[in-house]
A and B are shown apart, each in its own frame.
Chain A
Amino acid sequence: MVEFLYVTAAILLLLTGLGLARMLWGPSPADRMMAAQLVGTGGGAIALLIATASGTTAIIDIALVLALLAAFAAVALSLGEPGTKQQDGSPNS
């Protein structure tokens, strides 16, 4: 069971890393924020799997922090200063 959970965590890490390609490609800031949200949920799931596999329940707190940071990142995107972002993904002035 422990091996299964570790292998699952490794596959999930691979999937989350592949999702980061969307952060590289863009094209809009919303797409990049979606890749960051994927790191939030995927990283949280990886932390929970490792916490259960290793029996270290403190790792559950890491999943909490990742979920919280992903939520704050989305709020920060939507509250950004007006006029500093473009939808076409061109660099901010």
Chain B
Amino acid sequence: MSLLADIFTITAVSAGMFFFLAGTVGLLRFPDTLTRLHALTKADNLGFGLIVLGLLPQSPDVASGLKLVVVWLLVQLAGASASQLIAQFASKGGPPA
């Protein structure tokens, strides 16, 4: 059972690392602002979610596992609204009226 949990953790955390790598490469290599935003927000939030999913079997008790899920929810909500705000800022060249 513990071996199974370890295998699951290694698989999910490695997949999360891959998506973080994709997000960083996209942020550095894509040609303009909106494509970079696309690469960063999607790939990074997916990587974060996979890392949290992989860490859940390793959490020592239920409370800290729930806390991991809460951090994940906060990152999802904050990332989604922040990407909308940044895209609005970038497309209008300034803060929205």
Contacts and interface: CB of A to CB of B under 8 A. Distances in A.
Interface string A30-44: 110111011011101
B86 A44 contact: no
Interface of B: 6, 9-10, 13-14, 16-17, 20-21, 23-24, 27-28, 33, 36-37, 40-41, 44-45, 47-48, 51-52, 55, 58-60, 64, 67-68, 70-71, 74-75, 78-79, 81-83, 85-90, 93-97
A75 B67 CA distance: 24
A22 to B, nearest CB: 5
Interface string A45-80: 100110110010100100110011011001101111
Give the interface SS of chain A, mostly helix, strand, loop or mixed.
helix
Nearest to A80: B95
A60 B28 CA distance: 28
A45 B12 CA distance: 13
A78 B86 contact: yes
Contact of A52 (B21, B58, B82, B86): B58
Contacts of B55: 48-49, 52
15 contacts: A1-B58, A8-B14, A15-B20, A16-B24, A19-B23, A21-B28, A34-B37, A45-B16, A45-B20, A49-B55, A71-B74, A71-B81, A80-B94, A83-B94, A87-B94
A52 B79 CA distance: 23
B95 A74 contact: no
B93 to A, nearest CB: 4
